[in-house]
Amino acid sequence: MNGATVSENGAPFDFELTAQGLRVCPHGGGEGALLPWLWLRDHCRAEHSFNYETGQRRQTPADLDFGIAAVGLRWLPEKNALTVQWNNGEPPGMYPADFFRKITANGGAAVGEEFIKPQLWDAAAIADCEPSAEFADVAEGKTEWLMKLAERGFVLITGAPPEKEGARAVAEAVGHIRETIFGGLWVLESGSRAHSDSAYGYGAIGAHTDATYSHDAPGLQLLLCAETKSEGGESILVDGFRAAEVMREEDPALYEFLCNLPVPGEYVEDNVHLRACRPMFRRDAETGRLVQVSYNCYDRAAFLPAPEESGLFYRGAKRFQQIADSPEMAWQRKLRPGEAILFDNWRLLHGRRAFSGFRKFCGCYIDRETLQSKLRVVFGKTL
Ligand SMILES: [Fe+2]
């Protein structure tokens, strides 16, 4: 049966049995995929192997027969599915056309996952396409603003109720709010000493990401201006992916070094001592793409790299801070009551100018996976 091709009966794919597994090629071109027999058995979508009520497998790897291979294929037009006859007498496997469509859409690299391409920006680029949304549209469940958030890394929301409930409505349009040491939905008032964090003071804060001390830094941060009677205090956002790209273009070796040097972050106050460690630029192990920038000079814990690495680290950190704090990279705005920024804390850095007077902000964190889930549900692809 090896080498046999099944393409009759209106199947949207060509299937070929090979010694290694099933080769699947979509009609009309596109990348095919070779699905090893053991893999195919493990992913069987017949009722006996897959629970359609829960979307879970019924069997474990302990049930797999390592000698398994197909001895026959049949396309079932009435079910728009392929059945596979096995060499060991197990009940036939079944695979809907959709199953093969998802796999071949990505060349088999990341089954079922399609990524939204970040549109990197600097000050000039973002001035031409500031991503914004009306609170009313967000609260009504419209979704265009979510794609702006995914592509640009932030969205400016205007016309929100300048209070906690306004922040809650924006956050819950994405998903549930994350509980942290700051609570769920928090209020940040100038002059308050609620936490030992520079966010509660009046000084300028350079570009940084939040929660480098957390193993799972929040994927989103929301800041809603509730009140302001102040001079200064502009909010600043910088595209950390673009800043990382500038670093890579300037000095590829230094960039590579920073992709591999774990840097610890730490947060200490009464009864709290958080600490986590990861490189400034974290790449996805599977795809190699940059997935997270972690940079917070304020929360960096004492650490002592090897002497030859220490100088390199400081060279990298200094240059990155210079790039991130340069006006050519920044979007900035003095938020007015009812205006909010919702931004990707795995990609964007944020900061603020010094101010005097009084400001009150409401805000919260949202987990990265909550945003990813929302994007998959709405757009069928994610970050
Ligand atoms: Fe911050």
In a domain? residue 134: yes
Residues above pLDDT 70, as percent of the chain: 93
Q: How far apart are CA 16 and CA 158, in angstroms?
A: 55
101 confidence band (pLDDT: 50, 70, 90): confident
In a domain? residue 241: yes
Q: Last residue of a domain, which of 105, 135, 161?
A: 105
pLDDT tens for each residue of 224-260:
999 999 999 999 999 999 999 999 999 999 999 999 9
Looking at residues 13-34, what average pLDDT do you find? 87
Distance 106 CA to ligand 1 centre (A): 36
Say which CATH number the domain at 17 has.
3.30.2020.30
Residues above pLDDT 90, as percent of the chain: 84
Distance 282 CA to ligand 1 centre (A): 19
Show the domain range for 14. 5-105
1 confidence band (pLDDT: 50, 70, 90): very low
Distance 346 CA to ligand 1 centre (A): 12
Residues 100, 141, single domain; the answer is no
Tell me, what's the pLDDT at 26? 86
Distance 209 CA to ligand 1 centre (A): 6
Tell me, what's the pLDDT at 312? 97
Residues 260, 194, single domain; the answer is yes
pLDDT tens for each residue of 121-162:
999 999 999 999 999 999 999 999 999 999 999 999 999 999
pLDDT tens for each residue of 104-117:
876 555 566 789 99
Distance 208 CA to ligand 1 centre (A): 6
The total number of structural domains that make up the chain: 2
Looking at residues 345-353, what average pLDDT do you find? 97
In a domain? residue 334: yes
In a domain? residue 115: no
pLDDT tens for each residue of 201-218:
788 999 999 999 999 999
Average pLDDT, the chain: 93
Residues 166, 307, single domain; the answer is yes
Distance 296 CA to ligand 1 centre (A): 8
Q: Last residue of a domain, which of 71, 105, 139?
A: 105
Looking at residues 272-285, what average pLDDT do you find? 96
Q: Report residues near ion ligand 1: CB below 5 Å.
A: 210
